[in-house]
Structure 1
Amino acid sequence: MTVLQDAQRTDPTPPVRKRRRRATALSGSDRIVLLVMVGVPTLLHLALVWIPTLSSVVLSFSSWDGIGDLSTIKFVGFQNYVDIFTAYPRFWPAVQHNLIWLAFLLVLPTSFGLLLAVLLDRKLKFTRIYQSILYLPVVLALAMVGFIWQLMYEPNLGLVNNLLGIEHTNPIDWLGNSDINIYAVLIAAGWKHTGYVMLLYLAGLKSFDPSLKEAAALDGANGWQTFWRVTFPVLKPINVIVLVITVIEGLRAFDIVYAINRGRNGLELVSVLITDNIIGESSRIGWGSALAVILLVISLGFIITYLVQVFRREDRT
């Protein structure tokens, strides 16, 4: 007993606390694994995202053809931005096409995706099969979507003209006509976007508290009133996510138009102009970087808005 009492006097740390310290302490190998798991993705993110982004910002104030060494870079201040806004005839049509792209995705595919989510949330028969079919276009790359719809829009053998019965009499060149090809491509992009929006809204509806609908029914609200006054306001976080994703999709659209006709003849977009100026025949790194910065600033406006909404929601909870 004397030995046990002496040990307790010399070591005042309770046995439970000592075990907790041993459990929380990291060994040398654990620290190495943790460092690798955190450090490697961080380095890759810096190398592949932030360093090129900051380099583009710096190069946007310069004139450089990308061929000579770095000593040939000539800084021109804001001249690239002034020339793009005032003396680049392809810029404003590309901005207009991006705005049309964005408005279309916000109105039609988003609304249709919400409608499909509401219908599938009613636990219809074969709901999972419908979800899989409607979500299938989302897993396809936009370049693949463009190739599929090229076949469908083919004037003589395409599905669209055959369904309209005009494949031989007066076939419509959906992708060759610069007056209508942007809208034809938007239908293809909306086909992919609808499934993604549907999945987001369906996830929000699955987490919806059914008692709210029951309370609205007891108050005499019909299905339409219940949706707009109860369900839709509760989906506000999903609405913000859908808005941000749709804006980003509308601004960064590139693959599908480049796969169809390299983004020309009515399909010009800002992302195509960036590619043409950086890796095109007339390599103008400064102009391409300035265009990329303009697109980045517009995108950041919506992303920052989304983050502010998220942080406010966390503060309220």
Structure 2
Amino acid sequence: MSRKRGKLRLLTGRDKAVLTAMAGVPALLTTALIWVPALGSIVLSFSKWNGIGGFDQIQWIGGKNYYNITHGYPPFAPAWHHNLIWFAVFVLIPAPLGLYLATQLDKRIRGSRIYQNIFFLPVVLSLALVGFMVELIYAPEQGLINNLTGHTKPGNLVDWIGNPHLNLFAVLTLAVWRQTGYVMILWLAGLKAVDPALREAAALDGANEWQTFRRVVLPSLRPVTIVVTVITVVETLRAFDIVYVVNRGKNGLELLSTLITDNIVGEAIRVGFGSALASILLVVSLLVIVPYLVVTFRRDD
């Protein structure tokens, strides 16, 4: 029903049709394109199938894929390790750095709009393009870093991409560069929503700028903090494009996402095995997303 000039008006059939379409079409697309494939992957994770032939070629093997992943699949442990490093770096650098930049831009300094666009510009770039930038920056002979440091001669080259002890952090540098602008915008939106009266009251009580931020502003940013945390975890787990462009996720750049791709669409197609890896990634993601949704809905109630 809608209220117009003090009177209640029942929804017409056209209103109901529009509302049904607005809610139903996105729900249908989400179900068909996300949840059906996700549930299908979970089902296939208990099978052995090379993707060739019909479903009658599927062999059901129970939880053998999960056992093989955790006990006899060498790239799995390094991939988990690299994902954890990715997460730690994203928590320690882009999150606080984005918050710092957001607080500075929130002061409405001169040219803040220009700075905001400059910091946010990397977010517009696709991770695949960032991967090509990695090649240009870290190439042994023609790369920017080696040319600036003078490591371009044979015997003096630094192989940033080929060295498994360096390539992960080399790629993470540009990933952090891109993630910082994304997180900055989220923090900035949260800062804009803080009631100015709270800051004025803190100033009247004699609080300095740091005390006001720590005791007034930061607690008000709790919803945004939860969002930033969830996004950081999700971005960590879905990291794929940049490492796949660099070296297809090999030789020190193994991630869970690249292992899934290698097994489902790689040279040795193992749909069931790759689906088990995808199911593990899905469960880890849900362990973070579900508590976030619970907290959000509980707060709304």
Relative to the length of structure 1, the TM-score reads: 0.88
| Partner SS for 2:252 | coil
Match of 1:314 in 2: 300
Cα offset, 1:111, TM superposition: 1.1
**Aligned residue among 237, 240, 260 for 2:223:** 237
CA distance, structure 1, for counterparts of residue 97 and residue 19 of structure 2: 44
Q: Which residue of 2 aligns with 1:24?
A: 11
1:159 and 2:144 correspond: yes
Quick one: which of 47, 59, 63 aligns to 1:74?
59
Q: Distance in 1 between matches of 2:51 and 2:66?
A: 18
Amino acid at match of 1:43: L
Task: Measure the CA separation in 2 of the matches of 1:44 and 1:240.
Answer: 27
Is the radius of gyration larger for structure 1 or structure 2? Answer: 1
1:295 aligns with 2:277: no
* Corresponding residue for residue 271 of structure 2: 285
Aligned to 2:203: 217
Contact 2:47/2:59 (CA < 8 Å) preserved in 1? yes
- Cα distance, 1:228 vs. partner? 1.5
Whether contact under 8 Å (2:134, 2:246) holds in the other structure is no
2: CA distance, partners of 1:183 / 1:253? 14
Equivalent residue runs for 1:67-106 within 5 Å: 67-106=52-91
Deviation at 1:159?
A: 2.2
Cα–Cα, structure 1 residues 216 and 309, in superposed 2: closer, same or farther, change >3 Å? same
Q: Which residue, out of 195, 198, 201, partners 2:181?
A: 195
Q: Following the alignment from structure 2 to structure 1, what is the Cα–Cα distance between the partners of residues 129 and 139? A: 16
Q: Offset of 1:251 from its aligned partner?
A: 0.6
Q: 1:63-90: CA deviations, max 9, x gaps?
A: 1111122112111111110110011001
Question: 1:93–1:198: structure 2 CA closer, same or farther, 3 Å change rule?
Answer: same
Q: Which residue of structure 2 aligns with residue 124 of structure 1?
A: 109
Pairwise CA distance, 1:36: 4.5
Task: Describe how 1:139-178 pairs up with structure 2 within 5 A.
Answer: 139-168=124-153, 170-178=156-164
Change (3 A) 1:244 1:278: same
- Unmatched 5+ residue regions in structure 1? 1-15
How far is the alpha carbon of 1:311 from its aligned partner? 1.6
Instruction: Please tell me the residue identity of whatever aligns with 1:290.
Output: A
How many residues matched? 296
Does residue 185 in structure 1 map to residue 171 in structure 2?
Answer: yes
Matched AA of 2:157: P
Answer yes or no: is the 8 Å Cα contact 2:46–2:272 preserved in 1: yes
Tell me which residue corresponds to 1:58. 43
Q: Distance in 2 between matches of 1:42 and 1:211?
A: 40
**Stretch of structure 1 that moved more, 212-221 or 178-187:** 212-221
User: Offset of 1:20 from its aligned partner?
Assistant: 5.1
Deviation at 1:105, TM superposition (A): 0.5
Q: Which residue of 2 aligns with 1:43?
A: 28
Answer yes or no: is the 8 Å Cα contact 2:66–2:276 preserved in 1: yes
- Post-superposition Cα deviations, 1:188-226, rounded to whole Å, max 9, x if no partner, equal 111110001000001111111222222222333222222
Amino acid at match of 1:24: L
Alpha-carbon shift at residue 31 of structure 1 (Å): 5.5
Maintained 8 Å contact 2:120/2:182? yes
TM-superposition CA deviations, 1:96-138 (whole Å, max 9, x none): 0000001100111111111100111111111101101110111
Alpha carbons 2:132, 2:246 under 8 Å: kept: yes
Deviation per residue, 1:213-245 (Å, 9 max, x gap): 222223332222222222111111110000000
Distance verdict in 2 for CA 1:58–1:171, change over 3 Å: same
Q: What is the match of residue 6 of structure 1?
A: none
Please report how far the alpha carbon of residue 38 of structure 1 lies from its aligned counterpart in structure 2 after TM superposition: 4.0
Give, in angstroms, the shift of residue 34 of structure 1: 4.9
Distance in 1 separating the partners of 2:153 and 2:118: 32
**In 2, distance between residues paired with 1:47 and 1:270?**
24
